[in-house]
């Protein structure tokens, strides 16, 4: 694992120059090397403080893939080498987070990733309100994760061990449980802890929205899985509280989506709804729920990132994100309409996408955990389909407000959308075969 980290460190000086093709080649070459490495259910590629399993393996591949697509989506911003360096810093910190078996190292990277993300939002954001959204993001994550540091100190003081590879037995205390789980519920984000997400998404540039939806929300799920393995009974005694809030939050956020008029805000709230389902699958503490949540992390990272790309294409041409003004896109950008339809369908979990498989596994695990949860899941799935129809119909149909009826689409934009789309279909067939 150290070889991959040194690879990332030694290519850093290249980002002081403007070499866009070399940047993409470096990341694709790393992705190729990492994919052919072995990943087992137990830890592999173990080195000092680092190791990967099938959870880390899939999320690291997703990180490098989304970072490469971020670069492709921000071709107009690549004039400065600082943008490349910020992307590289985020990717390097994500690699440390997803491959660390040391709690303190994971916590430090977990906090330090806020700095390049804040620079990305404040430096390349759209409106002056980006300062407020950056403050929301910073303080929600900072104050939410401080109790985790206290928990790590508690473990070191009592057990002299802060590694994820051991099972520990310690006293059951609800305050201690809160200090562990709150940082990751803020990152998911769970309902009532989600207020930073729409603000950060709306003000962030396209690359910031892609990394927030595609990768940052996955840190919460990854951290929750890692800490559940430490002491399963410690989480099992209190998971019903967060399970109840997740069921209610998924339903209420789906209703909130139906009253949104900002395109990016609607997609951001849909991320909150899907991540609530992902949290439910993890909290059931069953094998099918855990696997369904992991698949949902991968599928949501690609699907939500693609929807933000489509929203950005409309914003660049219409200069607005309001659904009152973005109408009749099927006449203005007819070649984009099929991508709107496919991503909206995959967002609601229609086959043949991997989203369908993940939602099915999570629903089965939730019903096994709590019999009457199917009432909430039924209405949550129904309203999820409703706001996806709402998103597609309001943006594509209606009378366009300008006299133009056609807009050119760049080949790089088609390439970006296709690269988001084909893993969503191919991964389903891969899981069915293997």
Query: Residue 98 has what pLDDT?
Result: 92
The answer to whether 377 touches 363, Cβ cutoff 8 Å, is: yes
What element of type H or E holds 237?
none
> Residues of the chain with pLDDT > 70: what percent?
93
Per-residue pLDDT at 76 exceeds 70:
no
- 279 neighbors 188 (Cβ within 8 angstroms): yes
Question: How far apart, in Å, are the Cα atoms of 167 and each of 25, 158, 164, 420?
Answer: 40, 14, 8, 38
> pLDDT digits over 188-213, tens only?
888 888 888 888 888 888 888 888 88
Tokens of 297: 């992390």
Mean pLDDT (the chain, rounded): 85
- 15 occurs within a structural domain: no
Residue 42 has pLDDT above 70, yes or no: no
Q: Please report the pLDDT score of residue 339 as a whole number.
A: 93
Residue 305 to residue 208: CA distance in whole angstroms? 10
pTM over 0.85: yes
Give the confidence band of 93 by pLDDT, cuts at 50, 70, 90.
Answer: very high
pLDDT one-digit tens code per residue, 77-92: 555 778 888 888 998 9
- Is 93:105 a contact under the CB 8 Å cutoff? no
Mean pLDDT of 323-327: 85
| Dist CA 45 CA 255 (whole Å) | 44
Opening angle at CA 52, ends 307 and 154, nearest 5: 100
Tell whether the model's pLDDT for residue 159 goes beyond 60.
Answer: yes
What is the pLDDT at residue 78? 55
d(CA 185, CA 135): 18
Domain that holds residue 334: 102-433
Domain contains 35: no
Band of the pLDDT at 374, cuts 50, 70, 90? confident
Report whether pLDDT(180) > 90: no
Residue 13 resides in a domain: no
Residues 6+ apart with CB under 8 A from 121: 130, 133, 134, 137, 200, 203, 204, 205, 208
Dihedrals φ, ψ of 262, to 5°? -90, 130
Residues 6+ apart with CB under 8 A from 210: 66, 69, 70, 73, 305, 308, 309
402 inside domain: yes
Domain membership of residue 79 (yes or no) is: no
Question: Residues in the chain, how many?
Answer: 434
- Return the higher-pLDDT residue of 356 and 80: 356
pLDDT above 70 (res 171): no
pLDDT of amino acid 404: 56
CA distance 225 to 2: 23
pLDDT in tens, 104-128: 999 999 889 988 888 888 888 777 7
* In the predicted structure, residue 340 carries a pLDDT above the cut 90: yes
Least confident of 58-62, 100-104, 331-335: 331-335
> How crowded is residue 49: how many other Cβ atoms within 10 Å of its Cβ?
17
**Spatial distance between the Cα atoms of 223 and 185, rounded to a whole number of angstroms:** 10
For 346-355, what is each residue's pLDDT tens digit?
Answer: 998 888 888 8
- Report the pLDDT averaged over residues 180-188: 88
Q: What is the DSSP string of 318-366?
A: HS--BTTTS--HHHHSGGGHHHHHHHHHHHTT-TTSHHHHHHHHHHHHH
pLDDT score, position 307: 92
> pLDDT confidence of 297, banded at 50, 70, 90?
very high
Tell me if 98 sits within 8 A of 235, measured CB to CB.
Answer: no
Region class of 50: left (phi > 0), else alpha (psi between -120 and 50), else beta: beta
User: Is the distance from CB of 254 to CB of 380 less than 8 angstroms?
Assistant: yes
CA-nearest of 387, 392, 242, 272 to 326 is 392
Other residues' Cβ atoms within 10 Å of the Cβ of residue 149: 17
CA 130/CA 122 separation, integer angstroms = 6
Read off the pLDDT of each residue in 232-254 and give the average, rounded to a whole number: 88
- Counting beta carbons within 10 angstroms of the beta carbon of residue 350, is it exposed (0 to 12), middle (13 to 18) or buried (19 or more)? middle
Number of domains in the chain: 1
| Domain assignment present for 39 | no
Q: Is residue 84 part of a domain?
A: no
pLDDT of residue 243: 92
- The answer as to whether 92 is a domain residue is no
The residue written with tokens 């990305």 in the block is 120
- What pLDDT score does 212 carry? 85
pLDDT at 140: 83
Q: Are 220 and 283 in contact (CB under 8 A)?
A: no
> How far out from the chain centre does Cα 213 lie?
4
Q: What is the dihedral of CA 152, 113, 242, 292, to 10 degrees?
A: -110
């Amino acid at each position: 694992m150290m070889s991959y980290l040194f690879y990332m460190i030694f290519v850093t000086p290249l980002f002081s120059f403007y070499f866009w093709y070399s940047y993409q080649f470096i990341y694709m070459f790393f992705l190729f090397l990492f994919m052919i490495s072995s990943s087992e259910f137990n830890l592999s590629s173990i080195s000092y403080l680092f190791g990967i399993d099938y959870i880390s393996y899939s999320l690291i591949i997703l990180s490098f893939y989304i970072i490469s697509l971020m670069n492709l989506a921000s071709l107009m911003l690549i004039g400065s080498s600082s943008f490349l360096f910020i992307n590289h810093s985020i990717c390097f910190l994500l690699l440390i987070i997803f491959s660390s078996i040391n709690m303190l190292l994971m916590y430090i990277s977990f906090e330090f990733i806020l700095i390049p993300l804040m620079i990305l939002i404040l430096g390349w954001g759209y409106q002056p309100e980006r300062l407020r959204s950056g403050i929301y993001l910073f303080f929600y994550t900072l104050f939410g994760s401080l109790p985790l540091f206290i928990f790590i100190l508690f473990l070191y003081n009592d057990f002299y061990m802060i590694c994820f590879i051991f099972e520990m037995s310690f006293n059951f205390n609800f305050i201690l449980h809160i200090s562990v789980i709150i940082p990751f519920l803020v990152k998911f984000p769970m309902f009532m802890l989600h207020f930073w997400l729409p603000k950060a998404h709306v003000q962030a540039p396209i690359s910031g929205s892609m990394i927030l939806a595609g990768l940052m929300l996955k840190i919460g799920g990854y951290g929750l899985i890692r800490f559940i393995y430490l002491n399963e009974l410690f989480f099992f005694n209190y998971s019903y509280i967060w399970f109840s809030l997740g069921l209610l939050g998924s339903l209420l956020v789906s209703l909130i989506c139906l009253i949104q008029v900002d395109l990016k805000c609607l997609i951001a709230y849909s991320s909150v709804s899907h991540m609530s389902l992902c949290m439910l699958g993890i909290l059931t503490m069953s094998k099918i729920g855990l696997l369904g949540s992991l698949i949902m992390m991968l599928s949501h990272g690609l699907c939500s990132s693609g929807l933000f790309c489509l929203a950005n294409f409309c914003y660049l041409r219409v200069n607005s994100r309001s659904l009152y003004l973005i109408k009749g896109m099927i006449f203005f950008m007819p070649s984009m309409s099929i991508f709107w339809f496919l991503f909206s369908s995959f967002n609601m979990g229609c086959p043949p996408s991997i989203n369908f498989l993940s939602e099915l596994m999570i629903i089965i695990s939730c019903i096994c955990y709590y019999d009457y949860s199917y009432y909430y899941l039924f209405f949550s799935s129904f309203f999820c389909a409703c706001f996806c129809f709402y998103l597609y119909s309001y943006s594509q149909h209606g009378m366009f407000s300008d006299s133009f009826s056609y807009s050119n689409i760049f080949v790089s934009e088609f390439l970006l959308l296709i690269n988001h789309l084909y893993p969503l279909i191919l991964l389903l067939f891969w899981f069915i075969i293997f």
